[in-house]
Amino acid sequence: MATMISLPIVSSCSVATCGFNHDGCRAGAINVSGDHAQCSTFVATDDKGGHADQTGVGACMRTSCIHNEDMACTAEAIEVGASFDTADCLTFEARA
């Protein structure tokens, strides 16, 4: 029996050089980590992979983000795009 897990979705990704981004992010789930909230699932390739209709945020190691609770993202949705690095979580907001 399959179990449904509710994850925040990747509502948009503007990183055309990622192999998972073709008509939107097609990875089953992404992880966010690093100094600049990088999408650690980013793969620089011309090959296109992944088949998910909707991508979720599996884990977030940016505990300094207001949307992070116990290393899980609590935002309804996130956007991924270029910021400090090639593929960053643009929804990241530092805690006060």
What is this structure's pTM? 0.91
Give the total number of structural domains in the chain. Answer: 1
C-beta separation of 31 from 40 below 8 A: yes
- The CA distance from 27 to 62, in Å, is 20
* Domain containing residue 20: 1-96
pLDDT at position 78 is 98
HSE value, Cβ hemisphere, 13 Å, CA-based, for 59? 6
pLDDT at position 1 is 58
Tens-binned pLDDT, residue by residue, of the chain (96 aa): 565 568 999 999 999 999 999 999 999 999 999 999 999 999 999 999 999 999 999 999 999 999 999 999 999 999 999 999 899 999 999 999
Backbone angles phi, psi at 12, to 5 degrees: -160, 150
Q: What is the dihedral of CA 43, 12, 24, 9, to 10 degrees?
A: 90
